[in-house]
Amino acid sequence: MDILTKKVKGAEDILPADSYKWQLVEEIMREEAAKSGFKEIRTPVFEHTVLFNRSVGETTDVVQKEMYTFDTKGGESITLRPEGTAGAARAYLEHAIYNDGLPVKVFYQLTCYRYEKAQAGRQREFHQFGMETYGAADPKADAEMICAANGIFDRLGVSDIRLELNSIGCKTCRKDYTNALKEYFTAHKGELCETCLSRLDRNPMRILDCKNESCKNIAKDAPVVLDYICSDCSAHFDKVKTFLDAADVSYTVNPTIVRGLDYYTRTVFEFVTDSIGAQGTVCGGGRYDGLIEELGGQPTPALGFAMGIERLMLVMKAQGIELPEEETCDLYIAALGDEAEKKAFSLACMLRSASLAVETDIVGRGLRAQMKYANKIKAKYSVVIGDDDLKNNKVTIKNMSTHDTVETSLDEDKFLEAMTDLVVGQQEELISGLLGEDAGTFFEALKNLNG
C-alpha cells in the first residue's frame, strides 16, 4: 500500500501500545513535583525569536544552528521553543506571577524542537519535563531541586545513574576564569574546530562543551572553574553539597560540567547514565540568577532542570524496568439480534457513566468474532445478550480468566450492582496478593476512613 506521506525525519509517533507507559511516567513526574509544592505552567509552542537569543545565548549551538525560526505573514520572527525555561521565565514576568508570593514553583511537560542530527535519544521533536523555582537564592533551593529530580528516578526504579555537580560561579568571578580559558585555548588555536574558533573571543566556556574529539582532548587540560570562583560562590556550593549530604543523595563533583546554555550561573548539575551509550545525560539543570533581569525584570534568583523523556524511556527499557500493565476493559458486552444490540449499547453507556470501562460491538461482528475480540482486548469479564436473555431478563457474566460465572438481572440497577461487586472484588484480590498478611489491616483502615 502506497501511503501519501510518512513522518518527518527526527519526529516519532507514540503509538497506543506505548502511550500508556508515557502517561504513567508523566503522572509520576507530576506527583513528585506536587510533593514539593510545584504547580503546572503551560506556555505556547512558539515565541518571539528574541526571547531565545537573549536567554539561551547567541553563542550557543542551539541559537546558532538548531532553532526552527521563521517569519510570520506579519513579518515577525518566530521560533519553535528549543527548551522550556525561556518561555516559563517570560510568562513569570509578563503575568507578574511574583505577586502571588515568592518563591514561585512551576513545572511543565512539553514538546521542544531542535534541528540536529536525529539519533536514538536525540530527536528534532522531543519531550521535556522540567521544574523551575523563582525567588529563592538559598542553597537549600538548589538541593531541593536536585532532590526532586532524584525522587523521580527513585520512584521509577532507575538505577545506574549518577549525579554530577559543579559550580560555574557568578558573572563577576567568571571573568577571571573566562580570561584564563581564552589564554589557554588561544595557545591551541590551530587544533580547534571552526565552531570553537568562533567561540574563542565571544564565549570560551562553550569550547568545554564541544563534542569534537580534538576539542575534547584539548579541553581536558584546560583551567578548572572551581579554582576561580569567588568566596561567595564557593560557600554557596559547599552548602548545596551539605544539604545533599543531609538528604543522603550521592553525588560527585565534575568540574567539566558547564551545561549548553548561556543563562546558567553557580550550581550546575547532570544526572548521567551509561545504560544508553553516548547520549547518557538524562537530566540537566542548575541556577540562573541573571535570567529574569536579562529578560527585563528585577534581579531575581532562579533555578531549574529539564529531563528528556525519550532518553528516560530508553534508560528504563535498557535497565529492564517494567511498568504496570495497561488497564484493560472491565466488561465486553456481546449481542445477538437488533433488540439485544440496543440493550447492549444501553448497558454500556450506563456502566461507563458509573466509571467502568466497557466495550460492545460497533463494526457488525458475529458472536464468535465478538468473543475473539473480547479476548484480544483482554476484557476482564464478558456477557452475551440474546433474545432468550431479553425474555427472561437474566444474563450470565463470565470471568475471562477463571471462567467463573455469575447470573444477574438485566435491570440496570441490579446489573450495575453485580458488575461493581465483581470489579471491586477483583481489585481486593489483587491488593491482597500484593500486601499479603498486611491486606486485612489495609482494608480495615479503608473501611474506617469511609465511615
Amino acid occupying residue 200: L
Determine whether domain 344-450 maps to CATH 3.90.550.10. Answer: no
Residue whose C-alpha cell is 482494608: 443
Q: What are phi and psi of 47, to 5 degrees?
A: -140, 170
Tens digit of each residue's pLDDT, the chain (451 residues): 789 999 999 999 999 999 999 999 999 999 999 999 999 999 999 999 999 998 887 767 777 789 999 999 999 999 999 999 999 999 999 999 999 999 999 999 999 999 988 777 789 999 999 999 999 999 999 999 999 999 999 999 999 999 999 999 998 888 899 899 999 999 998 889 988 888 888 888 888 878 788 898 998 899 999 999 999 999 999 999 999 999 999 999 998 888 767 778 999 999 999 988 766 899 999 999 999 999 999 999 999 999 999 999 999 999 999 998 898 999 999 999 999 999 999 999 999 999 999 999 999 999 999 999 999 999 999 999 999 999 999 999 999 999 999 999 999 999 999 999 998 877 655 545 545 555 456 446 545 555 5
Cell for 17? 501500545
Confidence at residue 446, expressed as pLDDT on a 0 to 100 scale: 44
d(Cα 58, Cα 336) in Å, to the nearest integer?
68
Confidence at residue 428, expressed as pLDDT on a 0 to 100 scale: 56
* Geometric angle at alpha carbon 157, from 152 and 163, rounded to 5°: 60
d(Cα 76, Cα 71) in Å, to the nearest integer?
5
Amino acid occupying residue 320: G
Instruction: Give the right CATH number for 16-170+229-318 from 3.30.70.580, 3.40.50.1400, 3.30.420.40, 3.30.930.10.
Output: 3.30.930.10
d(Cα 197, Cα 432) in Å, to the nearest integer?
65
As beta bridge partners, residue 130 has 108, 306
* Geometric angle at alpha carbon 347, from 345 and 351, rounded to 5°: 120
Give the three-state DSSP class for 268.
Answer: strand
Domain coordinates of the chain in residue numbers? 16-170+229-318, 344-450
Residue 116 CB partners (closer than 8 Å, separation 6+)? 10, 65, 66, 122, 124
Confidence at residue 435, expressed as pLDDT on a 0 to 100 scale: 53
